[in-house]
Amino acid sequence: MIKKYNNHKNISGNLIKIAREKKNMTKTELCTKLELLGININRDELLLMEKNQLMIKDFELIAIALVLELDLNELKKILTND
């Protein structure tokens, strides 16, 4: 059974996409920066993550947050509708 929240496999995809676009970073550029941290995510996987169609592992989310300078507390706002 695949777990979902509001029919999505993750809740952080939109937040990732917005942050990446604010930095004018392509998906390929983000994947390259993640690879330097030892996190292997390809462009297609990132696309599915951003569309909330692929689960994101905790270590992947932390690495993405580091690269994009994301505040992970923003995820709490998504869950609590703040």
Domain count, the chain: 1
Average pLDDT, the chain: 91
Place of tokens 């809740």: 11
Tokens read off for 67: 């690269």
- Print the domain residue range for 33: 26-72
Looking at the domain assignment, is residue 3 inside a domain? no
What does the pLDDT look like over 5-19, one tens digit per residue? 788 898 899 999 999
Looking at the domain assignment, is residue 1 inside a domain? no
Looking at the domain assignment, is residue 7 inside a domain? no
What does the pLDDT look like over 70-82, one tens digit per residue? 988 887 777 777 5
Looking at the domain assignment, is residue 47 inside a domain? yes
- State how far the Cα of 36 lies from the Cα of 82, in Å rounded to an integer: 34
Looking at the domain assignment, is residue 41 inside a domain? yes
Looking at the domain assignment, is residue 48 inside a domain? yes
Looking at the domain assignment, is residue 53 inside a domain? yes
Q: Considering the entire predicted model, what is its pTM?
A: 0.88
What does the pLDDT look like over 12-52, one tens digit per residue? 999 999 999 999 999 999 999 999 999 999 999 999 999 99
Looking at the domain assignment, is residue 33 inside a domain? yes
